[in-house]
Amino acid sequence: MKKSPIEKREFYKQTIYIKRDDLLSKEFSGNKARKFYYFLENDFPHITRVVSYGSAQSNAMYSLSVLAKLRGWKFDYYVEHIASYLQENPHGNYKYALKNGMQVHIGQDIPILTKDDLLIEEGGRQKEAEYGLKILAQEILEWQEEQGFEELNVFLPSGTGTTALYLAKSFNTNEVARLKPSPPTVFTVPCVGDSEYLKKQFLMLEANEDLHPTILIPTKKRHFGKLYRDSYKIWLELQAKMGIEFDLLYDPQGWITLLENPQIFEKPTLYIHQGGLIGNESMLARYIRKYGEDI
């Protein structure tokens, strides 16, 4: 995997650096590429099939379809339910995952697996994600060194929290970073459940709380996948002022919460762009239907 660039921008008078993991590659990009990198790089002589489950519009589902295609594996994906509109008019992640050869199973139990099957947990929450996130941490530490920044704050919004957790763990266990006065601090905000849920997710992957990210609590409760006027507004502003398209599911909550915590900007701050842009196709259509092209 080539390194992703880091760009310097201004937003609401704050200087911010953006790690463009959305540009990692055309198909296999964002944090899912980091989380699944282990399965791209290592040998799995037995595996012939990937099995996973979750929602029919998930970014992880799409990235797994790319992984399976690249590796020549079959891909079986289990969903509880699919909206009939989506089934009749495939779009977004669902459409492109089907194009990549995904077989979707609706309302069925996951079959009994064999040694030829690779099971991926919903959203890619699993230990193997650490492998690719160590590489992301290394890229950031090298950049920090080049910039001559003594300290650094890193921010990214969380779903399962796997990306934020392994990034924080990698910084705190990296040999070079540990020699510094302090390794980068990772801040995150829950987008799927509340902070209790996110803490539990972290604990499932890492018992040592010293290695966990710092959780910020948003001032307003937003439900995952629902549409909010302020989320749409900030997404349009990010695009207009920085010329960068962010994801519509996680990044609006991310940017709103980051701006609610200006103390973070007292140190150089790096925002991780985690990709997810294919999913915007369906989210944006919903936003335009609700609020129009602009607000």
Ligand X SMILES: *Cc1c(COP(=O)(O)O)cnc(C)c1O
Interface with ligand X (CB under 6 A): 30-32, 59-60, 123, 157-164, 247, 250, 274-276
**Which lies closer to ligand X via its Cβ, residue 91 or residue 180?**
91
Q: CB 37 → ligand X: shortest distance, Å?
A: 13
Task: Compare residues 117 and 247 and give the one whose CB is closer to ligand X.
Answer: 247
Which DSSP category does 289 fall into? H
Is-contact 39 128, C-beta < 8 A? yes
Q: Indicate the residue among 7 and 151 with the shorter CB distance to ligand X.
A: 7
Q: Report how far residue 243's alpha carbon sits from residue 220's, in angstroms, rounded to the nearest whole number.
A: 27
157 versus 268: smaller Cβ distance to ligand X: 157
Coil, helix or strand for 41? Answer: helix
Minimum Å gap between C-beta 48 and ligand X is 26
17 vs 246, which CB is nearer to ligand X?
Answer: 246
Question: Residue 181 Cβ, how far from ligand X at the closest point, in Å?
Answer: 28
Alpha helices in the chain (DSSP H): 30-35, 37-41, 59-71, 84-88, 92-99, 129-147, 162-173, 175-179, 195-205, 229-242, 251-259, 280-291
**Dist. CA 10–CA 205, nearest whole Å:** 35
Place of tokens 């948003």: 218
Neighbour tally for 72: CB within 10 Å: 8
Dihedral (C-alpha) 214, 57, 34, 284: value to the nearest 10 degrees?
A: -70
CB of 150 to ligand X, least distance (A): 28
Torsion 26-31-32-33 (CA) sign: positive
Q: Are 230 and 287 in contact (CB under 8 A)?
A: no
Q: How far is the CB of 88 from ligand X (least distance, A)?
A: 25
Question: Please, what is the minimum distance in Å from the beta carbon of residue 201 to ligand X?
Answer: 8
Which one, 151 or 237, has the nearer CB to ligand X?
237
149 or 284, CB closer to ligand X?
A: 284
Closest residue by beta carbon to ligand X: 276
CB 186 to ligand X: min, Å: 12
| CA dihedral sign of residues 195, 198, 202, 204 | positive
